[in-house]
Amino acid sequence: MKIGFIGLGNMGAPMAANLAAAGHEVLGFDVAGTQAHGVAQAASGTDAAQVADIVITMLPNGAILRAVAQDILPAMHKGATLVDCSTVDVESARAVAADAEAAGLMAVDAPVSGGIGGAAAGTLTFMAGGTEEAFATALPLFEIMGQKAVHCGDAGAGQAAKICNNMVLGATMIATCEAFALADKLGLNRQKMFDVVSTSSGYSWSMNAYCPAPGIGPQSPADNDYQPGFAAELMLKDLGLSQQAAEAVDADTPMGQMAHKLYQQFVENEDGKGRDFSAMLPRFLERGRS
C-alpha cells in the first residue's frame, strides 16, 4: 500500500517507521524536516498525499489539521482515505471529514492512546470515527501500529472517545498523586499504600500501571525523574478540549473542569512544562493545605 504520512514528530515518526518496516511504501513529510527510519522524504504534504492510497496525519491541533487538509484533499486521488491520528476538537474532525467526503474521499478520525512508548512498540490503541467502509480500509494499518482499534461511531466519535478517556485519566492521576502526598504526611509507607490501593477499590490505571511514586509498581516516568511519557502540557491540551466540548453540549463536568484548572496552573505557573503529567506528585508534596 502507498501511504503518505504527514507529521513525523515524537509520535508520528515511529508510527511511520513501523508501517515501512511492515513492507508498505511510506512517503513522509514534516514541516520541521524530521525523518523516520525507512520512510522516504517528500518535498511537501501535497507531494506525500498525491500518490497515496491512505494519507495519515499526526498534527498538533485542529487549526493545523484544517489547514493541512485544505492543502492535501484536492491533491488526493478519488477513493483514497484520510486517517487523522491527531488529538483535536470534535468540530475540526467533523469539518475535515465533511470536506473529504465532498472531495470523493473517505476519512477516519483516529486519535491514539499509548504515548511515545506505544508508538515505538506498535502497541497503540486507536479510537476511530467514520464510516464502516473507511474504518475497514484503515484497520490493517491500525493493526501494524497498534494492538487495538475500536470503531466508536460516525465522524468525530474517535475524538469524543479520546477526550472523555483523558478527562478520566487527568482526574484520576490528580487523585492518585493527592493520595500519595497525604499518605506521606500521615506516615504511611508508600509500598504498603500501593499494595492496598492497587488491589482494592482505589484500583486505577494511574495507580496500577503508571504509578506516580518512584520505585513503586511497574516502571514509569516517575522512575526517570518524570521525563515525559505523556507530557503535562499534552494533558492540559486534552483537558482543554474536554471542557470546550462540554461547554458546546452543555455538559456538567466539575471534576474535568477542576483537573483542567490544576494542570493549567501546573504547566503555566509552576514547573510542569516539559515534565510528565504524573509529576503532580512532587507538586502536591511541596504544598500545604490552602
- Tell me the pLDDT tens digit for each residue of 123-141: 999 999 999 999 999 999 9
With a cut of 90, say whether residue 143 has pLDDT above it. yes
Cell numbers for 83? 486517517
Q: What pLDDT is recorded for position 221?
A: 96
> How confident is the model over 60-68, as a mean pLDDT?
97
Q: What's the angle, vertex CA 236, arms to CA 260 and CA 123, rounded to 5?
A: 125
What is the per-residue pLDDT across 180-223, written as a single tens digit (0 to 9) for each? 999 999 999 999 999 999 999 999 999 999 999 999 999 999 99
Q: Cα(86)–Cα(63) distance, rounded to whole angstroms?
A: 11
Q: What pLDDT is recorded for position 244?
A: 96
Q: What pLDDT is recorded for position 175?
A: 98
Under the banding of pLDDT at 50, 70 and 90, the label for residue 117 is: confident
Under the banding of pLDDT at 50, 70 and 90, the label for residue 115 is: confident
Under the banding of pLDDT at 50, 70 and 90, the label for residue 290 is: confident
Q: Cα(92)–Cα(109) distance, rounded to whole angstroms?
A: 10
> How confident is the model over 66-91, as a mean pLDDT?
97
Chain-centroid distance of CA 35 in Å reads 20
In 30-70, DSSP assigns E strands to 40-41, 54-57
Q: What pLDDT is recorded for position 138?
A: 98
Catalytic residue positions, numbered: 162
With a cut of 90, say whether residue 116 has pLDDT above it. no
What is the per-residue pLDDT across 227-266, written as a single tens digit (0 to 9) for each? 998 999 999 999 999 999 999 999 999 999 999 999 999 9
What backbone phi and psi angles, to 5 degrees, belong to 122?
Answer: 70, 35
Q: What pLDDT is recorded for position 24?
A: 97
Q: Which helix (H) or strand (E) holds 71?
A: helix 62-72
Cell numbers for 174? 490528580
Q: Cα(38)–Cα(117) distance, rounded to whole angstroms?
A: 19
Let me know: does 27 contact 52? Beta carbons within 8 Å. yes
